[in-house]
A = this chain, B = another copy of it.
Amino acid sequence: MIFTELHSQVRYKTDHGLRNIIDILPNHAASLKSAMHYALLAGGKRTRPLLVYLMGETIAAEEADMLTISMAIECIHAYSLVHDDLPAMDDDDLRRGKPTCHMAYDEATAILAGDALQSLAFTLLADHPMSSFGNENRIKLVSILAKSAGYLGMCGGQAIDLQSTGRAISLAELTQLHQLKTGALLCACAEMVTTVSPGLSHIHANAFVDYARLIGLIFQIQDDILDVEGHSDVIGKPQGSDLEQGKNTFPALLGLHSAKEELAKLHQQALQALAGLPYNTEALSAFTDFVVKRDH
């Protein structure tokens, strides 16, 4: 299957699955339910589910397991965007060209929507249909996702980001920041889908996680470059907003030219990581190119 076709299918499946989960909730707190729907279904690219499916199809994971993992990871991702956009955090009014959750609703509802989406991620890992092999491994998935979302992952990374905004940090610190803030959740995609793929060797499972780690850095460097070179109406937020907020970025630290060289180097490393695996990784190679070349 060609890469863009799979991406459409993954978006459809993930959106459809998440919409159903929200729709069946009772209406006792209608604004909160609506805000959760808004945050989850506001047109995300579903990059993480795409990575789950690309890897999962490569190593023969079951459809139900890939879908449940994708939905859970998107709940965590969506909650993190809602909280990151809050006035006390990055104070963003727009996300993907639309009002952020606290602008469309209010701050209290946005905080609660994020909180409830985090809980929902774990409800999905505990209760959403999975294959029999997936069922046996649910608690491992909870362990992976909780660790990657918390202090040792995403929340820790966001805290370092806030601490270091407005002051210069080293390349090593910036790399750690992004490995936690963005990388941890992408690594969790790889760890979770390899967990539900029977017969995969530890060495190959680790290679998939290493690949996901590289994708995380590539993703972030390209994000930073887009903040310098992208068009506001394409990237869905004001161009130059990172710079304006005093954020540490790879172009700010290395210069734009060197940031692009670093991106090209990581691109090659990621392709090499795939080439070493005894699977057909053509679609994952195409995904790697997509992440490097995306314009939003």
Contacts and interface: CB of A to CB of B under 8 A. Distances in A.
Interface of A: 25-26, 28-29, 31-33, 36, 79, 83, 86, 88-89, 106-109, 111-112, 114-116, 118-123, 125-127, 138-140, 142-143, 145-147, 149-152, 155-160, 162-163, 176, 180
Given A28-B176, A139-B142, A142-B125, A119 B149 contact: yes
Majority-rule SS of A interface residues = helix
A166 to B, nearest CB: 13
B111 A89 contact: yes
Given A36-B151, A116-B151, A150-B123, A29 B142 contact: no
Nearest to A115: B155
A78 to B, nearest CB: 13
A159 B107 CA distance: 12
A29 B111 contact: no
A88 B118 CA distance: 19
Contact of A119 (B36, B155, B180): B155
A183 to B, nearest CB: 13
Given A29-B159, A111-B111, A150 B120 contact: yes
A31 to B, nearest CB: 7
Nearest to A126: B143
A29 B119 contact: no
A140 to B, nearest CB: 8
Contact of A151 (B29, B155, B156): B29
B127 A108 contact: no
B123 A143 contact: yes
Contact of A106 (B88, B109, B112): B88
Contacts of A145: 122
Contacts of A176: 28
Contacts of A106: 88
B119 A150 contact: yes
25 contacts: A28-B160, A29-B156, A29-B159, A29-B160, A29-B163, A32-B151, A32-B159, A33-B151, A83-B112, A89-B111, A109-B162, A114-B115, A115-B115, A115-B150, A116-B151, A116-B156, A118-B118, A119-B149, A122-B142, A123-B143, A123-B147, A125-B142, A126-B146, A138-B142, A139-B139
